[in-house]
Amino acid sequence: MLFRSVGIQMLDDGSAVATWVEFADKRSQFRMRRVEPSGAKSPAITIANGEGGVSGYPRVARSGNELVFAWTEGSGEEAQHVKAAVARLP
């Protein structure tokens, strides 16, 4: 398994959301987890399983009580498509 660090988004409670692209079995996944100020980590959550491969540098941004994730899918000669997802914070 290979990891590529992607981004960190700080939250109001002092925790952070860490995102990365993980490569395994010739597939790439855009993943995230919450990291508490104590260092405790939540289980990793998969945001996207790129059929054509998650490519580029996915991003996460906070808007109010939502996290917005954006990434591209596609590789090689295949056209790249921009994808997005939104998650509400509790």
Residue 16 pLDDT level (bands cut at 50, 70, 90): very high
- Structural domains of the chain, count: 1
If one compares 52 and 55, the residue with the highest pLDDT of the two is 55
Buried b (16+ CB within 10 A) or exposed e, 6-24: bbebeeeeebebbbbbbee
Share of the chain above pLDDT 70, in %: 89
Q: Which domain holds residue 30?
A: 2-88
Q: Categorize the per-residue pLDDT at 41 as very low, low, confident or very high, splitting at 50, 70 and 90.
A: very high
